[in-house]
Amino acid sequence: MASDRTSYARLMTESRAVLELAGYAMAYPWFSFLPKGDGHPVLVLPGYSASDRSTIPLRNVLERLGYRSHGWTLGTNRGPDDAVRRAMRERLETLHERYDQPVSIIGWSLGGVYARGLARRDPEVVRQVITLGSPFRSIEAARGWSPPPVPATAVYSKRDAIVHWENAHEPPGPRRESIAVTSSHFGLGHNPAVIVAVADRLAQDPNHWQPFEPPPQLRRLFELDD
């Protein structure tokens, strides 16, 4: 019985994603006031069992802000294998060569694990990594992997019913941080707080990294320690 109640509670938590999508639609006109991009390329990787369709809302905002936003173009994310890893590296290298500048990578859930792996392998072509509810900590600990040698931001939610927040949380360190939002797991790609955080991080000068500080008028969207 307790297990049934727990499963039901998790399901209800994730049903918030529909409301978050409505919130995205309502906030869309205001996203134009977010920090403008410098035109650098951004690669967005979907979560497990998802495709580029799931990242359309986020990529639309990034395009509106002035970034060259791209999906991974590999269909549905069925999990890692050699062919997927090779194709992602080729996609990253193609974007780097096309724009002749480092690429920011945003990865949602399993996509964030991929993003951090790409940055570890080819840090010279990666500007920064932003993960959204990605279960990277247990994977990296089990395999003895270090954090990627590029700026890394982990966006997570303690209300995520799919990935436990501690597994998606980046301990503070040089050019490393975590940003807590109130969101379902399936809403992380269009939650307005996530959009605000992602836009802020992408707009940073890569040579002068500073931790995220939410705009005073939007602080209520974030779970702050103070």
pLDDT, tens digit, for every residue of 180-224? 999 999 999 999 999 999 999 999 998 899 999 998 888 888 987
Q: Which residues form the domain of 167?
A: 14-206
Domain-embedded: residue 72: yes
Strands of the sheet with 152-156, listed across from one edge: 68-70, 41-45, 103-108, 126-132, 152-156, 176-180
pLDDT given for residue 11 in this prediction: 60
- CATH classification at residue 47: 3.40.50.1820
| Average pLDDT rounded to a whole number, residues 110-127 | 98
Cβ contact 115:105 at 8 Å: yes
Domain-embedded: residue 24: yes
pLDDT, tens digit, for every residue of 132-143? 999 999 999 999
- The residue among 59, 76, 56, 77 whose CA lies nearest residue 68 is 59
| Average pLDDT rounded to a whole number, residues 81-91 | 97
pLDDT, tens digit, for every residue of 42-64? 999 999 999 999 999 999 999 99
Cβ contact 115:131 at 8 Å: yes
Domain-embedded: residue 6: no
> How many domains is the chain built from?
1
Domain-embedded: residue 219: no
| Residue 169, token pair as written in the block | 């949380």
pLDDT, tens digit, for every residue of 2-33? 444 545 556 666 777 888 989 999 999 999 99
